[in-house]
Amino acid sequence: MKERVIVFGGDGFCGWPTALHLSESGYEVIIVDNLSRRKIDIELDANSLTPIKSIYKRIETWKQLTGNEIHYYNIDISVHYRRLLEVIEKHKPKAVVHFAEQRSAPYSMKSPYLKRYTIDNNTNATHNICCAIVESQLDVHLIHLGTTGYYGYSSVGLTIPEGYLNVKVDVDGDEKYLEIAYPPNPGSIYHLTKCMDPLIFSYYNKNDLMKITDLHQGIVYGTQTEETRMHEDLINRFDYCGDYGTVLNRFLMQSQVNHPITVHGTGGQTRAFIHIQDTVRCVKMALQNPPKRGNKVKILNQTSECRNILELAKIIRDITGGEIRFYRNPRNEDPDNELKFDNTGFKSLGWDPIMLDQSLMTEIIEITNKYKHRCDMSKIICTSVWNDHIQVDKTGSGEPIK
């Protein structure tokens, strides 16, 4: 009998290619998704640049191509706890992969309603999964897709460790050493939920000995994986709007539709990056290497490299001939930062990360050129601001904006 894995949020940008990769790797996959991301497309009137098929058509095509069946349940796990529990008890999975969170920082800051929605959806989803696993009395490994944004973006010069920090404290004149969770530093309501998740995991790990792996992932770029390339019906999402588009994908798309490359502020921000193909590989590696029952929460930095945003924009400008334009930063953040991550956890398991190069950018450019007729230019500029003191900038400047 195949080992079963439930992928919560398995219709999404990371969830769908992960579900296919696990299915192709021999697991029996069950997707649970309430299709909220598709509903947000309608709400924002900003569809994926790539024409994605319905979840039912996707699953049907996958079975026709591979013979592998993916089960699907439409459940809002942040609300319908009993149905969530029933799925876990019915399928008795070896592991569950948790992607079922609203994943956009700008969207989470768009209005008071969406701030509350993001907290309610993300935090309840995480807690309900943990609670259901415990109530089921099954030995299930929980794998969660977190974010490197958990750590914040300060420039202290430290290579950020994988979740835990060894510190020295003074206790009545004696030096004592402690291992503590790295101090979280959320930069948005979305990131706040990602910082609350580890507290939930820590409690259930301590109280109920749950096996948990938390993956602190960098910004994902690219759109296709080996499995999604197999048929047009399997194509993955490509978000380009100011709320959901990830920075490298947005920059490359903008260069192909004759829109300025939208650099926020000075462009001095540094971010961690990972290719979508590595996302699915890392999730499978985490699945195959669970912590032992009773061990602390396993935290891995799922990121291949760090890049400065302005330097990235210049590389794309030189490749594509696009124009760089600076826009007032809608986020409340430092104008410049440095960033270094320890990613030896995955490398010790044999991971050889994909590094950003021109061939990968060319692949993304080919996707954007094929579907650029679907781009709505009015959705490119980010209109979500972090507080009332920040104004939306739709004009931009030729010079960096402090």
Residue 69 burial (CB count, 10 A): 14
Q: Are 12 and 37 in contact (CB under 8 A)?
A: yes
From the list 81, 150, 190, 240, the catalytic residue is 190
Q: Annotated catalytic, 194?
A: yes
First to last CA, the chain: 59
The Cβ-side half-sphere exposure at 55, using a 13 Å CA radius, reads: 22
The answer for residues whose C-beta is within 8 angstroms of residue 158's C-beta and 6 or more apart is: 340
φ/ψ bin of 160: left (φ > 0), alpha (ψ from -120 to 50), beta (otherwise) = beta
- Give the whole-angstrom CA distance, residue 162 versus residue 214: 10
> What's the per-residue H, E or C state across 110-139?
CCHHHHHHHHHHHHHHHHHHHHHHHHHCCC
Q: Which residues partner with 181 through β-bridges?
A: 164
Q: Annotated catalytic, 147?
A: yes
- Give the whole-angstrom CA distance, residue 145 versus residue 98: 6
Length of the chain: 402
Q: Are 85 and 136 in contact (CB under 8 A)?
A: yes
> What's the per-residue H, E or C state across 63-105?
HHHHCCCCEEECCCCCCCHHHHHHHHHHHCCCEEEECCCCCCH
Per DSSP, 290 falls in state P
Nearest to 117 by CA among 71, 150, 148, 79: 79
From the list 123, 147, 148, 368, the catalytic residue is 147
Q: Annotated catalytic, 327?
A: no
Nearest to 140 by CA among 67, 87, 199, 218: 87
Q: Are 32 and 84 in contact (CB under 8 A)?
A: yes
- Give the whole-angstrom CA distance, residue 95 versus residue 288: 10
Q: In what order do the strands lie in the sheet with 4-8?
A: 71-73, 28-32, 4-8, 95-98, 141-147, 211-217, 298-302
From the list 110, 123, 150, 194, the catalytic residue is 194
- Catalytic residue positions? 147, 190, 194
